[in-house]
Amino acid sequence: MSLSLYDTTLRDGNQARGINFSLNDKIRVAHLLNDFGVDYIEGGWPNKSNPIDEKFFKIISKEHISTSKIAAFGSTRRPKIKAEQDSILQDLVKSEAPVKTIFGKSWDIHVSEVIRTELEENLDMISSSIEFLKAHSEQVIYDAEHFFDGYKANPEYALKTIKRAEQAKAEYIVLCDTNGGSFPWEIEKIVSDVLKNVNCKIGIHCHNDIGLAVANSLSAAVAGAVHIQGVINGYGERCGNANLITIAANLCLKMGYDLKCKDNLPRLRYFSLAVDEVANAQSDIRAPFVGETAFAHKGGAHIDGVLKVSHSFEHINPEAVGNTRELITSDQAGGALIVEKLSKILPNIDKKSPIVAELLEIVKNKENQGFAFDTAGASFEMLARRQLGLFKDKFKQLGYRVIEDMGEDGLHVSEASVKLQIGDKIIHEVSEGDGPVNALDMALRKALIEHFPGIASVKLDDYKVRVLGSKVGTDAYVRAWITFGDGKENWHTAGVSTNIIEASWLALLDGINYYILVTEMRTGQ
């Protein structure tokens, strides 16, 4: 069975409290979504009040997005205005996004009391807006806002709105549980009723206000919906949106759907954590399928059972979604995933080799300190290659210093100095920057540029810090997470310390050393 996934992390997800994607964040998440294999990526509202979204559509059209279609979001035309004269629809056209998604009113009380127009005018707003956008788009998707509440209140009128969208030839008509208050049996019945009255492709969009957004989305699929909208990790307003990570896993692994992302499910945990990292959001350790404890077993009977017959205590193989079994009281926690990563560096390594056990112990200790190698692959690779004797550092750090000063004008100045040794040569460089981490980065590059000129192409694309552990206040552990890029690839590193500067310095060193490693491999040196 075929079904399309539509991701709205960059709009609906961005409306969550504490989530504020920058332009670079949005581009990064779009690439992750494309790599994951969603069918549609909704980029946001392209209008002057949303300058980041406007810029996003200009940039993303030049990026290599080959798997997913980019969608711009807006609404139907306003009452008493021709579609071609409506500024929102004009902005959608200017975005040049191949797909345009608009929402309209399904609930009669919204028509009369919220937008304050006639019921018939609302129907024309729906059809004329879709018809106008059809002339400027590969596809138009219509989101029937508050459809389930509208159907419960006035099913005759709610169906009229759907039929108008059908007549205007929307690619999908998406039934929205906007208030997030419906139950799965209600969703399944109403979707079934709608499909008896129309002959078009129906989708579903659910919010999680009573904790049933995923269940409601799956119930809609059972009833015949062929398009599901959601958000990675369930971000969104109030209690969030339907979690597309959980939905994708259930559809493919439990319900037999042949999704475009099916072959990428072994990386599902990675995609979930990577988007959390970009959003600077704390990952849910109990998240179904991908959470850190989703396959963790503690207690004698469970551990004994899972060791004897794993599927007797686990509903799927953890590796099917890129996760790993963890036996809390054993030495096997995290082993499968780390060994898998290690085998990519040395494909023929014997998994029973003492060096494997030694590396696993080091990794476990570092992860207990707060490292997160799932989303800092470059840091793991540097650790593994050093331990295996496959990389020798080309420079030695002798020290660094950061000075923060505020002048009489109230402006802050960050100055950093680094001291390195390359061969027999001692190098000492000083640089100023926009903050201590930028100053350190500039000073490090300045010290290395003569010996590694290609380092000029390396950009620090993203930098985030998260407080870790049970300590509170200024003595808490922090993890610095940095994304680098050189125009050919991106890589991610992490550093952990009670000192934010030291954590950042460790991540910087890993990032630069990884570039040196990759350069050596590219040139065969």
- Please list the ranges in the chain whose pLDDT falls under 70: 1, 298-307, 309, 327-341, 351, 407-408, 410, 469-475, 524-525
pLDDT at 134: 97
pLDDT at 489: 84
Q: How far, in Å, CA of 387 to CA of 383, rounded?
A: 6
Q: Where are the alpha helices (DSSP H) in 61-183?
A: 87-95, 108-109, 119-134, 147-153, 155-167
pLDDT at 444: 96
Q: How far, in Å, CA of 273 to CA of 342, rounded?
A: 20
Q: Which residues are bridge partners to 18 per DSSP? A: none
Q: Using the 8-state DSSP alphabet, how is residue 49 labeled?
A: T
pLDDT at 339: 62
Q: How far is CA 215 from the centre of its chain?
A: 21
Residue with tokens 């469970």: 302
Which whole-number Å values give the CA distances from 98 to 38, 93, 134, 186, in the listed order?
15, 9, 10, 34
Evaluated on CA atoms 161, 164, 168, 170, the torsion sign reads positive
pTM, 2 dp? 0.76
Domains of the chain are 4-279 (3.20.20.70), 295-330 (4.10.430.20), 396-523 (3.30.160.270)
pLDDT at 304: 63
Select from 199, 131, 129 the least CA-distant residue to 163: 199
pLDDT at 63: 95
